[in-house]
A and B are shown apart, each in its own frame.
Chain A
Amino acid sequence: MATQEVATERPGSPKEAADLLRGLAEAKRVVRPRGGATKLAWGGKGEPVSVELETGAMNRILEHNEGDLTAVLEAGVSLGEAQATFAEKGQMLALDPPLGSDDAATVGGLVATADSGPLRHRYGGVRDLVVGISIALSDGTLAKAGGKVIKNVAGYDLAKLFTGSYGTLGLIVGVNVRLHPLQTDTATAMASTEHPERLTTALATLGRLPLEAGCLDVAWQGHRGQALVRFAGAAAEHQAATTAGHMRDAGLDEVETVSDDAALWARQRDGQRSAAGAVLKVSGRTSDLGAAIGAARDADGALVGRAAQGLYWIAFEGAELTERVAHVRSALEPRACVLLDAPDELRTAIDPWGPVDPGALALMGRVKERFDPAGILRPGAFVGGI
């Protein structure tokens, strides 16, 4: 297939971005917003992209209000850089998704894809941490919603609407976020087993306890799985030891507590991505874990996930990806299994989004029409061909 030449525009300010968008809409060019290009292929193929609107020139941390635990960021700020800035003051944006090659993931791209990592367990998703947003629409409108304070109910919460909108409603030019104290002095309780039902039961029990863990994860690869629970702060070691006791009681093996635990959690994050293979994200329930492990095993996939949140990522390497992905989807029906990373031919062969309730889809279509009336922002790339 011949690839079309894709032009790149790099606006230096929100105003410039809005003006560019208006011009592109008048010229009917198909636009794809682009941050660090670490998740560029996610979503459907959609219509061929003519112009990429790249946010890298809008990369300033405009405010870090330490005392208020908030920050105002331009969309092109890299998440890694933002975290380094916050960490200097003992704070963090409580989002730890995989940062992609060269740690290039930007804050704007992260909001657009609603990606997350193990900290999702305690702090929620992107939607729960973004308190305000600035957006440029395809008719040249530059608008904001929300505010810079963590509590605010004035106006519609467009920050949430744009979170996970994959660049199809408008260009995110800035986000205001809520910060948290940095998780330091961490300790992880971990254990493994080759019995899926034992792991499932153990994690269900751990999820029910008022542990106040920072992260509570599951992993399954080949014939063995793990439970991992991470704590931070003064009592972390003690909490990890107590949790390890629960793991033993649940019949798990190789129970240990690890304080030098960064690599363990990096591995959990890495399990959400695949450079050459495919990744399915399952929006499920805690009680689906057994089925998800079973499906992953049958299809020779590796699973990581937030056990108490019901979110699982199944990664596949090797051949026959289409069949294996299809197997997992049908085994977990009616749960949504969204294809994230995937080779081009797989993304073309199946709908990466899967089915969405027709009534909800019709409403989403109307939202799209109102925000992107010119229909130039990644047409066809979102759910149901929106």
Chain B
Amino acid sequence: MSHTGEPAELAEAPDRDLAPLVAELREAVGDEWVYTQEHQLRTYESDGLLQYHSIPAAAVLPGSAEETQAVVRACAKADVPWVARGAGSGLSGGAVPIEKGVLIVMSRMKRVLDVDLANQRVCVEPGVTNLAVTGAVAPDYFYPPDPSSQIVCSIGGNIAENSGGAHCFKYGFTTNYVVGLELVLPDGELVQIGGKELEPPGYDILGAFVGSEGTLGVATKAWLRVMPAPESVKTLVAFFDTTREAGEVVSQIVQAGVVPGAIEMMDKLAIEAADAMSHAGWVGEDGPRGAALLVELDGAERECEARFDEVVKMCEDCGSDDVRVARDETERALFWKSRKSAFPAMGRLSPNYFVQDGVIPRTKLPEVLERMDELAEEYGMRVANVFHAGDGNLHPLVCYDGRVEGEAERAEELSGLILEACLDAGGSITGEHGVGLDKKKHMPKMFDEPDLATFQRLRCAFDPAGLANPDKVMPTPRLCGEVPGPYRQHPLEAAGLAERF
């Protein structure tokens, strides 16, 4: 594998003859669904974060839970590490394959298995896209977690990453909508946790699994909660001279007890980039404004109307002389297109950029923005900012030119310092992109050794052999020892239900 500027840090499975395993994989899923040629494997070398790449020994595309189980079981028997991959749109390197390991690609499993609107549940295979879940229940219902990549990203990937989106301040994250999972555990066991019902007895394995970044097993089926679509949706975008003014509006909205469906902020550079792509007319003759705030209220019509007027007034009171209310669905779609094109559009302003994903307590926004400005100036680099402002999730985009020697390293360094500013403010190193490979090194800044060791306990309960996505999340590789302490026969063991590992 290689990585811009830094020494290789990806795990590599030990050298051994994988031919017997590959034969077994072919047996399990059929010849045509096992790739071993380099030109085939190149497709899967990265996820959405292109600077990390690696070629596995084989990529396998199972077509069913049983086939997935057979694949995982074969890997377990051969003691070969594996990585599960959804759509490959992740932004933390979480789906980067392990060299000489197996990549399990879930994209063939994309059936919607059950739509039960009476109970507001949908059961899908992991390869189903996020948008297709809403598609299966529209127009009366919707699936709230909506990552920007929702057209392509898969539910299996959303589960691994606990994906959020623009609407999670009001509606929550993937973890709040997964009510059941069928899992293949790293030892090849197939188990069902939960189902259509909430709060099944036992440990909240669902809560532990969602967001575990493929390190605890692979989901082969998911039961999801969907919601009645809101009666009314109202969207505005307001422009300000400074991000501070826009931030003040966010504070006022939250203080007033208004819970917008979405509340998104963009700074000058992000507005400029986005508008160049969406042509929404967000940049006037005098160039882009200092900040744009997109606020969307949804809910019961009368409540929505009343609250919306309040929000318009707050924007004006805080210094906006340009509040645009979406007049129809087309205009609303255009607002969102502008917001969502901020990332891809950045490519027009800068040859390369790093997308950062930090979280801060929302009230710390002004001081963290100030710190970012200082850092950007110190490094002589441009940093564009896009925020999920309601929940304090920042996406600074650090612009650089990869053709200039050393720029990528400096940009990454700057990006890391921005995260430290988030942590200093009491926040987190990732709000929705995950730790993956990219942020392993930052984990010790957020968590102390006993915390990391405690995380490892969970991992060992699921994967004592360390075969599931082993080089992700944790900053240093760890092995699972025997369960310490004197041997006590477990009640399950006595009942013949479980074996000791």
Contacts and interface: CB of A to CB of B under 8 A. Distances in A.
Given A149-B426, A151-B431, A125 B205 contact: no
B303 interface: yes
B120 interface: yes
Which of B255, B300, B362, B391 has the most A CB atoms < 10 Å from its CB?
B300
A68 interface: yes
Contact of B461 (A70, A180, A281, A367): A367
Contact of B200 (A238, A286, A336): A336
A361 B202 contact: yes
Contact of B189 (A208, A235, A359, A367): A359
A145 interface: yes
B363 interface: yes
Interface stretch (B16-24, B48-56, B447-455): B447-455
Given A114-B199, A151-B431, A336-B201, A234 B208 contact: no
A210 B300 contact: yes
Given A336-B201, A367-B203, A370-B483, A151 B164 contact: yes
Contacts of A125: 198-199
B347 interface: no
Interface string A356-386: 1111111111111111011100001011111
Given A151-B168, A151-B432, A153-B162, A143 B454 contact: yes
Contact of B197 (A90, A137, A310, A368): A310
A284 B454 contact: no
A17 interface: no
B299 A157 contact: no
B492 A386 contact: yes
A160 B430 contact: no
A70 B498 contact: no
Contacts of B302: 235, 238-239
Contacts of B299: 210, 212
Contacts of A368: 203
Interface in A275-312: 281, 283-287, 308-311
A155 B161 CA distance: 11
Nearest to A357: B192
Nearest to B231: A210
Interface stretch (A78-86, A161-169, A218-226, A254-262): A161-169
Contact of A359 (B192, B201, B362): B192
Given A238-B302, A385-B491, A369 B483 contact: yes
Contacts of B257: 90, 181-182, 233
Which of B201, B210, B459, B501 has the most A CB atoms < 10 Å from its CB?
B201
B123 interface: no
B192 A154 contact: no
Contact of A147 (B175, B200, B446): B446
A360 B183 CA distance: 10
B204 interface: yes
A19 interface: no
A283 B211 contact: no
Contact of B185 (A142, A363, A386): A363
A382 B430 CA distance: 34
Nearest to B199: A283
B392 A151 contact: yes
Contacts of B443: 154-155
B481 to A, nearest CB: 10
Contacts of B189: 359, 362-363
Contacts of A239: 300, 302-303
Contacts of A145: 447, 451, 454-455
A204 interface: yes
Which 7 pairs show the lowest CB-CB distances between chains A and B?
A: A160-B207, A181-B257, A359-B191, A385-B491, A67-B363, A143-B454, A362-B498
24 contacts: A65-B361, A68-B363, A139-B485, A141-B453, A141-B454, A151-B359, A151-B393, A155-B435, A155-B443, A155-B446, A155-B452, A158-B208, A161-B207, A181-B257, A211-B300, A235-B303, A285-B119, A311-B199, A362-B191, A363-B191, A364-B205, A366-B501, A370-B461, A373-B485
Given A135-B454, A368-B203, 11 more contacts: A148-B361, A149-B427, A149-B431, A160-B207, A163-B207, A208-B117, A286-B118, A356-B200, A366-B461, A373-B484, A384-B202
